[in-house]
Amino acid sequence: MSATDTHRAIEAVWRIESARIIAGLARMLRDVGLAEELAQDALVAALEQWPESGIPDNPGAWLMAAAKHRAIDRLRRSKLLERKHGELSRELQAQQELAVANLNDAIDDDIGDDLLRLVFTACHPVLSSEGRVALTLRLLGGLTTDEIARAFLVPEPTVAQRIVRAKRTLAEAHVPFEVPRGDDRAARLSSVLEVIYLVFNEGYTATAGDDWLRPALCEDALRLGRILAELAPSEPEVHGLVALMEIQASRSRARVSPSGEPILLLEQDRSHWDQLLIQRGLAALERSEKLASARGPYTLQAAIAACHARARTASETDWRRIVTLYGALAQLTPSPVVELNRAVALGMAFGPAVGLELVDALVAEPSLKSYHLLPSVRGDLLFKLGRLAEAQAEFARAASLTRNAREREFLLERARACA
């Protein structure tokens, strides 16, 4: 195997194994930043040694062993060992006596808990939303700062600064490396789900840049969601979010033309929808509904997505049920954006005039002042009512507000069509 092939293999192993290596180290060190640093040291060692020695039979175990040896050396040299001598000495002594082949087995019993601790730590509410997203993608997604920067169209130094600031904030706030309990767990879980949801949405409909979709981000969010569903199988909203992402992701191939232009939901070729992802999503939705006495916000959104997934053609969509589901969502989590989506459903179920009435009530909403989808939806409803001059102005305004190049061109084309 060439050095290039070896490096590619190392990158693949790192993407798969890095989260559990960092999680295992963080349990030992109680310091996420230091854990990632030592895991990176082990990666560097692999890049140096494997091209000469060959890839080990169990590369994940090799990386874990190398990282844990570094952790033990660091603890020996630091005052942390002195402070935690009574707590750690027996564990460290036992680890020193283990052969490299047994080190991986030594953490297997705890790996699920370790990963869950890492998820809750990386998504702690003490961090800013941007910090949580960047740190989660770095620690759990295995992405480099460059990959995160390119995904969100921000400079790499900005991402690096967010990650450094997040680690420092966790350390200064003395955030424990643990899975919270009771009410604290519920509050923290909502933060975890929000981060995964944000990552998926940015991939599903990019807020800026030249591409309508960023499939890699959707895949990263789905992977994180599936991991969380395995680690927290009794949490209905975890399954609700996974269901939502699986069903939404099933449409990816149908959402863009071969040249990259957006294709609206009702105009998509449904034969291009991924039936495996739809079935996975419907199964996750069923699990969520069985676990919960009442549907949460992600489960309600998944139920709305399921209405589209179950319709063989656009005309078969059960819009009245979607209106009802949006009504339940609006009661549970009131927001102007939910109301805007409900207006779309009302327009499809009862005619554009009904939908426009609700949209017009939202025009004065301050939080939607720069939200390009408000004039976009209003323009669509006006177009259906034959009020073309007004529709043209709304589509042009929507185009001026979006930062996504593909979406801007799509909206300008709709404006030209009104003329």
Work out the pLDDT band at 100, boundaries 50, 70, 90.
Answer: very low
The CA–CA distances, whole Å, from 217 to 56, 145, 197, 396 equal 30, 14, 11, 29
Closest CA to 409 of 204, 244, 260, 236: 260
Q: Is the confidence at residue 411, as pLDDT, over 60?
A: yes
Closest CA to 189 of 197, 180, 200: 180
Residue range 11-60, pLDDT digits in tens: 888 888 888 899 999 988 888 999 999 999 999 999 999 988 888 989 98
Query: DSSP string covering 76-117, please?
Result: HHSHHHHHTHHHHHHHHHHHHHS-HHHHHHHHHTTHHHHHHH
Q: Is the confidence at residue 209, as pLDDT, over 70?
A: no
Q: Is the confidence at residue 334, as pLDDT, over 80?
A: yes
pTM, two decimal places: 0.78
Query: DSSP string covering 126-148, please?
Result: TS-HHHHHHHHHHHTS---HHHH
**Cα–Cα–Cα angle for 369, 373, 376, rounded to 5 degrees:** 110
Residue 100 burial (10 A CB sphere; 0-12, 13-18, 19+) = middle
Show Cβ contacts of residue 59 under 8 Å, excluding neighbours closer than 6 positions: 9, 10, 13, 17, 46, 50
Work out the pLDDT band at 182, boundaries 50, 70, 90.
Answer: confident
Instruction: Supply the pLDDT for residue 103.
Output: 39
Closest CA to 20 of 55, 54, 67, 58: 67
Average pLDDT over residues 87-92: 56
Q: Is the confidence at residue 107, as pLDDT, over 50?
A: no
Is residue 119 within 8 Å of residue 132, measured between CB atoms?
A: no
Query: DSSP string covering 44-67, please?
Result: HHHHHHHHHH---SSHHHHHHHHH
Closest CA to 75 of 98, 53, 95, 97: 95
Q: Is the confidence at residue 381, as pLDDT, over 90?
A: yes
Instruction: Supply the pLDDT for residue 75.
Output: 79
Q: What integer best gives the mean pLDDT of the chain?
A: 87
